[in-house]
């Protein structure tokens, strides 16, 4: 069984506001705010690896856990913007941390990656293979954002969140539910740079190394599967929606969060929302939101916290945590 003993986050210093974006593409603060809830996002310095952001968040999580880097047995990094196509960003992070005793791998589950990573870490501990697991969601989405495409460039930001799980007598993760639908994989993707369409002059010219998204199709699916995932995870924990103390959803669009929470009947004061400050940070969104909720003392011991995420793949998931 496992519990969370440390949590940390890091966002780059540079703030890019909606007003800054008005100067780059044909958009407005009014459109972005009313359609998404986003006011600003953070942008990492050019050529920063996701492992660098992950390192900053992990240092804080480690400090709060009381563990040393050498105590970590496993590092799982959820990212779609890894430092390089391979090796894993988890290996780069291991080297930054000098966590020499850890096994390392990345999780590719887009915006759901942090919950997929947490579920993996939890199960590795439950299965007895590892004792101390570092799970990080880290993204430099600015590196795959097409700054000429107003339909996507206003949505995303950079950041990282990290959690340390350790073996314990009681489980603080009460349940997890993960789902996917590969038949919809083309509606949110980076088309080129993989084996199917390796980098070439043509792919660069056609801007195929940037994110492409069919926003309103995704919106409808997101609401449906996030409602379903939260329901399954809460039922799996033997609880009701009324037992939830804090709901921490993926921060892709404030209207998605409102639609999901209305359908499951969670009141506004029980939802953690920080999208206005960071935009969508993919796998880092739920990790950073969980960390900020903790830092702002919105989570107390024994509170029931529900993560609920959705992203490209398509992938989704929800996890119920009883805060230890």
109/134 with CB nearer ligand UT7: 109
62 within 8 A of 6, measured Cβ to Cβ: yes
47/216 with CB nearer ligand UT7: 216
**Least Å from the CB of residue 256 to ligand UT7:** 6
Residue nearest to ligand UT7 (CB): 215
Extract the tokens encoding 240: 């009701």
Bridge partners, 321 (sequence order): 173, 305
130/316 with CB nearer ligand UT7: 316
75/154 with CB nearer ligand UT7: 154
280 is annotated as an active-site residue: yes
**Least Å from the CB of residue 254 to ligand UT7:** 9
104 is annotated as an active-site residue: no
The catalytic position among 18, 250, 253, 291 is: 250
**Least Å from the CB of residue 82 to ligand UT7:** 17
209 is annotated as an active-site residue: no
* Residues of this chain that bind ligand UT7 (CB under 6 A): 27, 31-32, 35-36, 111, 150-151, 154, 188, 215-216, 218-219, 222, 252-253, 280, 310-311
176 within 8 A of 2, measured Cβ to Cβ: no
**Least Å from the CB of residue 92 to ligand UT7:** 24
**Least Å from the CB of residue 240 to ligand UT7:** 27
255/298 with CB nearer ligand UT7: 255
Burial of 270 (0-12, 13-18, 19+ CB in 10 A): middle
The catalytic position among 91, 111, 153, 291 is: 111
Active-site residue numbers? 111, 250, 280
């Amino acid at each position: 069984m496992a519990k969370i003993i440390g949590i940390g986050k890091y966002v780059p210093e540079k703030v890019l506001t909606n007003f800054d974006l008005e100067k780059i593409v044909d958009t407005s603060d009014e459109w972005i705010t009313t359609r998404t809830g986003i006011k600003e996002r953070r942008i990492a310095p050019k050529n920063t690896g996701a492992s660098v952001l992950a390192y900053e968040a992990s240092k804080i999580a480690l400090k709060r856990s009381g563990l040393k880097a050498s105590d970590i047995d496993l590092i799982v990094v959820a990212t779609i913007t890894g430092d390089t196509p391979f090796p894993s960003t988890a290996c780069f992070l291991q080297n930054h941390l000098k966590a020499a005793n850890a096994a390392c791998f990345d999780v590719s589950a887009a915006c759901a990656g942090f919950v997929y990573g947490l579920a993996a870490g939890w199960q590795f501990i439950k299965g007895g293979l590892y004792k101390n697991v570092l799970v990080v969601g880290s993204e430099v989405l600015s590196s795959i954002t097409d700054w000429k495409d107003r339909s996507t460039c206003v949505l995303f930001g950079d950041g990282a969140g990290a959690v340390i799980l350790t073996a314990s007598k009681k489980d603080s993760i009460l349940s997890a539910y993960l789902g996917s639908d590969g038949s919809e994989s083309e509606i949110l993707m980076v088309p080129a740079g993989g084996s199917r369409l390796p980098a070439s002059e043509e792919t660069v010219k056609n801007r195929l190394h940037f994110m492409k998204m069919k926003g309103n199709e995704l919106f409808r699916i997101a609401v449906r599967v996030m409602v379903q995932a939260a329901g399954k995870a809460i039922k799996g924990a033997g609880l009701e929606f009324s037992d939830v103390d804090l709901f921490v959803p993926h921060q892709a669009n404030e209207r998605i969060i409102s639609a999901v929470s209305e359908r499951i009947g969670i009141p506004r004061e029980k939802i953690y929302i920080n999208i206005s400050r960071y935009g969508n940070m993919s796998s880092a969104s739920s990790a950073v939101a969980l960390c900020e909720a903790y830092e702002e003392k919105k989570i107390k011991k024994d509170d029931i916290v529900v993560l609920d995420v959705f992203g490209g793949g398509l992938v989704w998931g929800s996890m119920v945590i009883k805060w230890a």
